[in-house]
Amino acid sequence: MVAISLGFLITSQPLFMYWARCVEIISTTKGYDVQNASAICARLSNDDDFDEINTIVEKDIASTKIYLQIASSVPTFIMAPVIGTWSDKRGRKIPLLFTISGFFIYMVFQLLATLTYEHISIYCWFFAGELFLGFTGGIGSMFGTSLTIVTDDCRNKLKPGSSTVPMRIGVASFVQSFGSLVGTFGTSMLAVQNPHSIHEHKFSYINTALIEVSVGAMALIYAFFMVRETYFPLNDVYLYNRLDTFSTSSSVMMTFTHYVYRRCESFGNDPKITRAGVGGGGGRQESP
């Protein structure tokens, strides 16, 4: 479900970003109202008179994309190792819910941008979403944690060395890729090629964002109620401590045994004890 939502997102976001920035730039630079600016943007690619505006919009998006990537990458670079350590210390489920929650809120920001782009710059919502997504580990941490849960489940249920372990990992990766494909296909079905009105174009982006948020909410609810914990680090620590205690006890016993053996060997090689034993035996032989 997360992959389906991601498929909708990565396909619709660039299209909506171009549309919203075009409307905003034409409204602010040319003095048109939102309705006329939307009409111009709807036929922008088919009208040579607006090539200059098209170039401005493309440059604006390309330059801002760099800062959006930085806003997401820097927090992700910090938080991804923290989430990985967290999952190793406290289990997998809570970090998974944490990363899915960040992705869900990111999609909520996307929905708010589609609803308010005529009045509020979409970059306000996009930068907030990228920062929030980064501080929750990013998309990579979300998929990585989910695959880790699959790996743990394989280790718990299957025998060591079983060939079905990599098979299940491959199936999980395929399902994620297929979900992204479904999301991309759904976006293409909702896209309006030749809108009869500007509202059709606008509502196509809103409908796509609503589907993203809905599927993301379903994924979060499913992960909360249905996904079970597959890794119990406290049990592993207990087992390690037991093995470590056993190893320490064995070492002490071996040291003590070696000490007793050396002492017995030293008594056997003591000259005084040897002479006393020999002398005593000679005296008993001379008495008759």
Q: Is the pLDDT of residue 57 over 50?
A: yes
Percent of the chain at pLDDT > 90 equals 23
pLDDT of the residue at 63 = 92
Which DSSP state fits 46? G
Please tell me the predicted confidence (pLDDT) of residue 273.
46
Q: How confident is the model at residue 53 (pLDDT cuts 50, 70, 90)?
A: confident
Question: Is the pLDDT reported for residue 85 higher than 90?
Answer: no
Left if phi > 0, otherwise alpha if psi is -120 to 50, otherwise beta: which for 146? alpha
Tokens representing residue 171 in the block: 């199936």
Give the pTM: 0.74
Q: What is the C-alpha separation between 2 and 143, in angstroms, rounded?
A: 9
| pLDDT of 219 over the 80 cut | yes
User: What is the per-residue pLDDT for 254?
Assistant: 58
Q: How much is the average pLDDT of 11-31?
A: 87
Residues in contact with 134: Cβ distance below 8 Å, sequence separation at least 6, in sequence order: 71, 72, 73, 74, 75, 76, 79
Using one digit for the tens of pLDDT, what is the confidence trace for 191-217? 766 556 677 778 888 988 999 899 989
Mean pLDDT, to the nearest integer, of 75-88?
89
Q: What is the pLDDT of residue 98?
A: 93
Q: Would you state the pLDDT for residue 111?
A: 93
CA atoms within 13 A on the CB side of 200: 10
Task: Kindly indicate the confidence band of residue 34, based on its pLDDT and cuts at 50, 70 and 90.
Answer: confident
Q: How confident is the model over 154-166, as pLDDT tens digits?
A: 666 655 555 566 6
pLDDT at 76: 92
Q: Rounded distance, CA 47 to CA 45, Å?
A: 6
Residue 16 pLDDT > 80: yes
**Per-residue model confidence as pLDDT tens digits over 249-271:** 455 455 656 555 565 666 555 55
The 8-class DSSP code of residue 194 comes to: S
64: CB partners within 8 A, 6+ apart: 123
Report the pLDDT value the prediction gives residue 48, as an integer from 0 to 100: 59
What mean pLDDT is predicted for residues 131-154? 84
How many other C-beta atoms are found inside a 10 Å radius of the C-beta of residue 7? 24
Q: What is the distance of C-alpha 186 from the center of its chain? A: 24
Residue 242 has pLDDT above 70, yes or no: no
How many CA atoms lie less than 13 Å away from 46 in the CB half-sphere?
Answer: 7
Q: How far apart are CA 144 and CA 229, in angstroms?
A: 15
